[in-house]
Structure 1
Amino acid sequence: MSIQFLHISDIHLDSPFHHIRNIFPELMIKCQEASKISFQYLVTYAIEQQVDIVVIAGDSFNSVYPSVSAQLFFKEQLQRLVDHHIQIVLCHGNHDYVRLPKIVALPEKVHVFDEHVETFVLTTKSQEKVAFSGFSYHHLHVQDRKVTHYPVRFSNVDYHVGVLHGALESIATEKGLYAPFSVSELNSKHYDYWALGHIHKRSILQEKPPIVYAGNIQGLNRKETGKKGAYLVTLDKGKEAVLEFIPAETILWEHVTLSLSECSTVEDVQSLLKKEEITFSQQTKIISIDFIEHAHIPEELRQFLQTDEALQVLSQNAMYIYRLTFLSSHTHTLNLNVSMEKKWGNIQQYGVENKEYQTALQSLFKNTTIRTLFPDLLHDDVFKEEVFSKAINTVEQQINH
């Protein structure tokens, strides 16, 4: 007999979306509800599919101190699963690590991992025995190689699944801080499936047996583009695992590059967006646009496209322009060696470590006027986002792909 479970991770309920600018107040409201709507959709999907188990691989909440309303919502959704006889296995991640007992208790039948690696053996409706091994974070950082404490596959079960919220060493941005592991270490356990969490970009690290990052269920910022959701996993003894991606994002983030070579007026830009099918969408979209600049563009148009008014004018229907950036059409290029390409790829996907950002700004804050007028600038997330954005764009213009 086969089993079927839904692999979810990084729900991030209560994400504040600080980086959404207040020029679109209605969008802020949509963003604050997005993760809830996406999770509710996945719970409904699991019920409709009558899956055996739902696995949540960490970071159900965006903070260790989630609001009571978010806790109540999460409990209600889990209770829906329990009421439909769907078993639940979950761990706490680095964002929602166990610090204090929550004042809203989860349903009794939810299996929550402790800080030490432990194993739950569940029996499905078809009497298949499934072992789930995992742990929960009890601190923001987990530097131990927790994977070494996972048991080798149990011989008395039909399937064994590993649940791990952590970072593969080759893609960790802050190496060793989030339960580091290697693929070879996971393979040494001989499990039938690894349900990973922490990295928001979904990725199948290995197909046989599957080692899978489900990614987050809702993009939280402009870097988290594309479809988001969960994996429906079917395991059947003697056969290859079947994975089906289930899209669930409420709001879709996109990033596009367009040429302004035929634009000299605002109407031309609007026509360009329409031609590229950017302006019409039934689903809410937040789009960052890189415009390739050309010498003939009127200065007035170029200046207008750098204003908040331009974002409002060009946004239509359910499509919101979050950011407009100019890329020069005449740039020098850089050639990157393998090591530099890898480093650059990590920066593009995961950003820069906070300590590197702080170091880079130290020279700026040596200026007395800057320190006096902007004492909190070092800790301003919006400013940090703009710095990263412009720095990355500057480098992108000069890299020869």
Structure 2
Amino acid sequence: MKEIKFLHIADLHLDSPFIGLSTLPQPLFSAVQESTFQSLERIITIAIKEAVEFVLIAGDIYDSEDQSVRAQARFSKEMKRLEQAGIKAFIIHGNHDFIEKHKEKLQLPGNVHVFSEQVEMAAMETKNGAIVHIYGFSYGERHIRASRVNEYNKQGEADFHIGLLHGSELSSSEDHDVYAPFRIQEITKKGFDYWALGHIHKRQLLAESPSVYYPGNIQGRNRKESGEKGASIVTLSASNTTIDFIATSPIIWEEVIITLPENSEINTFYREITKLLATYQGQSNSFFLHVIVQMANKQKINTTDWLQMLQEETDLTGSTFIWVHKLTIELTNQSDLKNWHEQHLASKEITQAFEKLQDESAFYQTVEALYFESGVSRYLDDLSEEDRQLMLDAALTELGTVLKEVEGDEK
């Protein structure tokens, strides 16, 4: 029974500007800028060590259509390493790095096949004699709203047919713009043996027979892209598919929780957070941490003051770092505050204001000044409906906490 082994990655986003992190200390920011390249280097080393038969890259190799010569040269160097190891690479361009016909680019080595703007098939034969047909297309513009699934059709005889697609599964794309949309039911009926997807930055196996798989991006770039990132080794036979994830990202974003007993003193918090940070020491990765402090009494901790202290104490001299990028308080008596406004003297007015802000246009009218402030707007993420609701719930709880303090009713 014939079997093939290949490596699947997507969403490298080389040359990402990391604008929102540009205020970091220079050693940290330099490490962040290098992180996507470092992850790619590790991935190619793994591909060579594992002796995969080919590499699939499912779009967004670069972060924008304007790729620097530096980024192109670094990517070409890694493709050359594959060529020297006798490994082919099949790549498509996505919405971030779409092909611009009149822009001159550095030439990639001969082992690399770049798919054109039309769905096409590339054939190869492995060292063990397995015939593989790989199908895909590159974006020729940033926005491809129409489905391209109908253009994916098996051609000729082959042991394995693999689809390479940078796009959105319609039922699970709420956190990303929808491009080249598809439905699982559509592509699983195409008779392919594996679908190598890109565009969604979270690792997801959408179907098992055949496997329809997003490998996620190779390096988290913000708090929403938390956890380990890397590459996936796929072993495919007529009867079975095995997908093995291998972490390669040098920097990991994590959310961690410290729970403090009621009426804890600041020395208790200092001891607990010192203990927490010590658990990350000596690891081979760097970390961006969002520390959530669960406690019953909020005013004892000035988060701005503590965050500044933790950041100033960060060791920037080593090969890795542990950076607390956010410190928030989570009250353990939230249930007491959840419906506080229903019994308040201003219950009617508070409820009306809260309900008004549920409307998307009213919400953005309230916060639009932030988006017109040049020093702030570039750091603001797009907000989903869930994000807006979380902000409103948090604001309502915060208002309840402040009013209790002002009115002298805090227990």
**Same fold, TM-score > 0.5, yes or no:** yes
CA contact (8 A) 2:257 2:294 kept: yes
Distance in 2 separating the partners of 1:9 and 1:304: 40
Distance in 1 separating the partners of 2:379 and 2:97: 23
Distance in 2 separating the partners of 1:38 and 1:28: 16
1:298 alignment partner, one of 279, 297, 300:
300
In the alignment, structure 1 residue 142 sits paired with structure 2 residue 144: yes
The 1:123/1:358 distance shift into structure 2, 3 A limit, reads farther
Q: Determine the structure 2 residue equivalent to 1:343.
A: none
Distance in 2 separating the partners of 1:46 and 1:224: 24
* Gaps in structure 1 of 5+ consecutive residues: 336-355
The 1:217/1:63 distance shift into structure 2, 3 A limit, reads same
For residue 74 of structure 1, give the secondary structure of its aligned residue in structure 2: helix
Give how far 1:139 is off.
1.1
Distance in 1 separating the partners of 2:169 and 2:13: 20
Q: Determine the structure 2 residue equivalent to 1:34.
A: 35
Residue type matched to 2:133 in 1? A
In the alignment, structure 1 residue 319 sits paired with structure 2 residue 317: no
The 1:359/1:247 distance shift into structure 2, 3 A limit, reads farther
For residues 233-278 of structure 1, the C-alpha deviation after alignment (integer angstroms, 9 at most, x for no partner) is 11123x2111111111111110112223364225732434415754
User: Sequence identity of aligned pairs in percent?
Assistant: 32
Distance in 1 separating the partners of 2:360 and 2:249: 30
Aligned runs of 1:265-344 on 2, under 5 Å? 265=266, 268-275=269-276, 278-282=279-283, 283-295=285-297, 298=300, 301-302=302-303, 304-305=305-306, 307-313=307-313, 318-332=321-335
CA contact (8 A) 1:377 1:383 kept: no
In the alignment, structure 1 residue 122 sits paired with structure 2 residue 119: no
For residues 329-383 of structure 1, the C-alpha deviation after alignment (integer angstroms, 9 at most, x for no partner) is 2324889xxxxxxxxxxxxxxxxxxxx98984334447xxx89xx64267x2224
Distance in 2 separating the partners of 1:66 and 1:396: 40
For residues 171-196 of structure 1, the C-alpha deviation after alignment (integer angstroms, 9 at most, x for no partner) is 22388840000001111111110000
For residue 379 of structure 2, give the secondary structure of its aligned residue in structure 1: helix
CA contact (8 A) 1:23 1:308 kept: no
Bigger shift: residues 1-10 or 253-262: 253-262
CA contact (8 A) 1:261 1:293 kept: yes
CA contact (8 A) 1:143 1:176 kept: no
CA contact (8 A) 1:294 1:328 kept: yes
TM-score by length of 1: 0.82
The 1:138/1:396 distance shift into structure 2, 3 A limit, reads farther
Aligned runs of 1:72-221 on 2, under 5 Å? 72-99=73-100, 100-151=102-153, 153-154=154-155, 156-173=157-174, 177-221=178-222
TM-score by length of 2: 0.81
For residue 19 of structure 1, give the secondary structure of its aligned residue in structure 2: helix
CA contact (8 A) 1:87 1:109 kept: yes
Residue type matched to 1:381 in 2? R
Distance in 1 separating the partners of 2:135 and 2:45: 26
Stretches of 4+ aligned residues off by more than 6 angstroms: 314-317, 356-359, 385-391, 396-399
Q: Determine the structure 2 residue equivalent to 1:381.
A: 378
Give how far 1:79 is off.
1.1
The 1:201/1:125 distance shift into structure 2, 3 A limit, reads same
Larger radius of gyration: 2
For residues 200-238 of structure 1, the C-alpha deviation after alignment (integer angstroms, 9 at most, x for no partner) is 00011111211100000111111111111111111123x
What is the number of residues matched between the two proteins?
Answer: 369
Give how far 1:155 is off.
5.0
Q: Determine the structure 1 residue equivalent to 2:252.
A: 252
For residue 20 of structure 2, give the secondary structure of its aligned residue in structure 1: coil
For residues 274-332 of structure 1, the C-alpha deviation after alignment (integer angstroms, 9 at most, x for no partner) is 15754424221111112223327635x45523x53343337787211011112222324
For residue 334 of structure 2, give the secondary structure of its aligned residue in structure 1: coil
Give how far 1:165 is off.
0.4
Distance in 1 separating the partners of 2:90 and 2:338: 48
CA contact (8 A) 1:167 1:180 kept: yes
Distance in 1 separating the partners of 2:382 and 2:295: 23
Q: Determine the structure 1 residue equivalent to 2:408.
A: none
Distance in 1 separating the partners of 2:71 and 2:332: 47
Distance in 2 separating the partners of 1:267 and 1:204: 43
* Gaps in structure 2 of 5+ consecutive residues: 340-358, 398-411
CA contact (8 A) 1:273 1:279 kept: no
Distance in 1 separating the partners of 2:170 and 2:279: 37
